[in-house]
Amino acid sequence: MPLHRSPTSSAILGFILLGIHMLWSVPSVVAQQESRGGGIQVVDEATGRGVPLVELESTHSVRWVSDNNGLIYIDDSELLDQTVFFFVHGHGYEVDKDGFGYAGVRLDLKRGKIVELKVKRKLPAERLVRLTGIGQLRDSLLLGVDHSNYLVPKNGQVVGQDSIQTVPYQGELLCIWGDTSQATYPLGLFRAAGARAPLLDSTGKRFDPSKGIAYDYFIDETKGFVRAMMPLPDRKDGVIWLDGLTKVQSDEDTETVIAHYSRRAGLAEELEHGICALNPQTMQFDVLHVIESLKEHRHPHGHAQIVEIEGKTWCVFGNPFPNLRVPATLKAIQDPNQYEWLTPLDASGKNYEGWAWKKSAQDFTSKDEGIWLDSKAASKREPHFLPSNVEQPSERIVFHNGSFAWNEYRQKWIVLGGRWLGKDSVLGEVWYTESDQLEGPYAQAVKVATHHQQSFYNVFHHPYWDQENGKTVFFEGTFTADFSGNLYKTPRYNYNQLLYRLDLEKLFEKSVTQP
């Protein structure tokens, strides 16, 4: 027989069911409340702008890293709603040390609140944003902070990217990178990635990259990941790197984008190299000319500038100092005999005969000059590519990779590059130097940025984005633990591009950096 409930029993059952529902619901509500975190915004004391790549470390060795907006999201329930001490690691930004020598701060963390942390910038260059990789505004998103004025890449699924090359092309900026990492597997793309970036903003003025760049990557439509800019399907072995990206005039009086390509089995072993050209239909590079000898160094390298010298147009290459030139034509760029090195040595590479452009000479770099000046034959010669540290004139700065460009504001040729075997790290310092003449000498140098026990290599200045007639310049480089000897890899930032801004007027306001 069916069970009939009286109104009273139904009410009692309803209360029981409601109670069970409430018991199950309470943990959910509590969990939601406990998951609400607090925030810290790291700002430049002088400008009030958020600073990316500042790491805070708790006394129990947990680390957080600020995003492009300078924000850090903390949801550790055991740290919220109390005062917490953080060590501050800023790569050129710092806080004062306390009486015990700790460089850190005590902050009152509260759920749903953002507390401000001011840091002092110790060097002239201002760190702006991480340009590549995902999660550039992760903490801003988690905190619900408006970040609409920042730009991030449109596509590409890039999580890490190495060393940029650029050239203006078809009204935009063509950007080429080296090895590129993905999230789906430890091996990514090793045959050059590419993207378009703006040269001008919506008003027709020079684009300002200080809030990021919305890169439009060339992608594999089936995967969504970046595609190879130089696939070379018939040569399956080896990675491919491009450098010396520039434009030259062809016989038809049209501009052709060219580069030097190197197919390699690793950092040291080169399998093949030569000159490649951009195919406008496929937007990929094809082999234009294979250089037979792997020992032939007369080819595009580093970064290029088109320069008028005594009525003739040249492609001048440097990394960072301008030391190789060739007539800016498609025919000349493929002929090693048309290249000229800037060197003080004769064809033998042993005897001094004065700085000049020479066809038959060997290449000559900042490292080579350091070795040469230490020899008895050159002990009394004046340095040329070895500027002195403006703060310690007896110290010569050996430059690693970088770039050069004419600067309208200074009315000089300027060089921004890494330092080889720096004091803060092996490849983590960035130095600035300048000269009245393209050929130098480059007399003095000043450190403008640093990365403690981390690398920041292949520095590149973007001259087409210079602001205020060259008073403000932008440069970037690859930030990574590689080659630093430090096993710690900074989350999200490791193996990615960081952008800096340098105010040349302020750089030379200080007496210590007077030219």
Residue listed under structure tokens 């004769």: 346
Q: Are 473 and 402 in contact (CB under 8 A)?
A: no
Let me know: does 300 contact 256? Beta carbons within 8 Å: no
Which tens digits make up the pLDDT trace of 84-123? 999 999 999 999 999 999 999 999 999 999 999 999 999 9
**Looking at residue 347, what is its pLDDT?**
83
Instruction: Give per-residue pLDDT as tens, 295-307.
Output: 999 999 999 999 9
Tell me: pLDDT of 24 over 50: no
Least confident of 183-192, 332-341, 381-390: 381-390
- Any idea which of 206-220, 274-288, 340-354, 362-376 has the lowest mean pLDDT? 362-376
Residue 239: burial class (beta carbons within 10 Å; 0-12, 13-18, 19+):
middle
Distance CA 353, CA 360 (A): 13
pLDDT of residue 9: 43
Instruction: Quote the pLDDT of residue 380.
Output: 67
Instruction: In whole angstroms, give the CA distance from residue 481 to residue 461.
Output: 22
Q: Looking at residue 508, what is its pLDDT?
A: 81
pLDDT of residue 366: 87
Q: Is it the case that residue 11 has pLDDT exceeding 70?
A: no
What is the dihedral sign for C-alpha 207, 209, 212, 213?
positive
Distances (CA, A) of 339 to 207, 323, 347: 34, 10, 14
Between residues 14 and 140, which one has the greater pLDDT?
A: 140
**pLDDT at residue 514 is higher than 60:** no
Does 282 have pLDDT greater than 90? yes
Q: Kindly list the distances between the CA atom of residue 155 and the CA atoms of 151, 218, 343, 479, 497, in Å, as whole numbers in the listed order.
A: 12, 9, 44, 21, 16
3-state helix, strand, coil in the chain (%, to 5): 15, 40, 45
Report strand pairing: 114-121 vs 412-419.
Answer: unpaired
pLDDT at 254: 87
Question: What token pair was written down for 20?
Answer: 């069970």
Please say if the pLDDT value at position 247 is more than 60.
yes
Residue 473 corresponds to which amino acid? V
Q: Which of 478, 485, 447, 472 is nearest to 460 (CA)?
A: 478
- Any residues with CB less than 8 A from the CB of 291 and at least 6 apart, and which? 273, 274, 275, 299, 336
Confidence of residue 214 (pLDDT cuts 50, 70, 90): very high
What's the rounded Cα separation, in Å, for the pair 495 and 378? 39
Residue 7, pLDDT > 70, answer no
Return d(Cα 49, Cα 211) in angstroms, integer.
11
Q: What is the DSSP letter of 134?
A: S
Helices (H) and strands (E) in the chain, counts: 5, 33
pLDDT per residue as tens digits for the range 265-280: 977 799 999 999 999 9
Overall average pLDDT of the 439-468 stretch: 97
If one compares 31 and 394, the residue with the highest pLDDT of the two is 394
Tell me the pairing of strands 255-264 and 303-309.
unpaired
Contact 172, 197 (CB under 8 A): yes
Q: Which amino acid is at 409?
A: Y
pLDDT of residue 31: 34
Q: Residue 377 pLDDT > 90, yes or no? A: no
Helices (H), 363-430: 366-373
pLDDT attached to residue 21: 41
**pLDDT tens digit sequence for 345-356:** 888 888 888 899
Residue with tokens 């003095």: 444
How far apart CA 433 and CA 318 sit, in angstroms, is 14
Joined together, the tokens standing for residue 470 give 């060259």
Q: What values do phi and psi take at 309, rounded to 5?
A: -125, 115
Confidence of residue 150 (pLDDT cuts 50, 70, 90): very high
pTM: 0.91
Please report the domains of the chain, with CATH numbers, ordered by start residue: 38-129 (2.60.40.1120), 387-515 (no CATH)
Whether residue 3 is predicted with pLDDT greater than 60 in this model: the reply is no
- Mean pLDDT for the chain? 90
Helix (H, G, I), strand (E, B) or coil at 27: helix
- Measured between alpha carbons, how far is 222 from 423 in angstroms, rounded to an integer? 46
Q: How far apart (Å, rounded) are the C-alpha atoms in residues 155 and 97?
A: 42
The predicted pLDDT at position 510 comes to 60
Reported as a single tens digit per residue, the pLDDT across 458-499 is 999 999 999 999 999 999 999 999 999 999 999 999 999 999
How far does the chain reach from its first CA to its final CA, in angstroms?
A: 104
Q: Which of the four pLDDT bands, split at 50, 70 and 90, describes residue 376?
A: low
Length reported for the chain: 515
Determine the Cα–Cα distance for residues 450 and 464; give it in Å rounded to an integer: 24
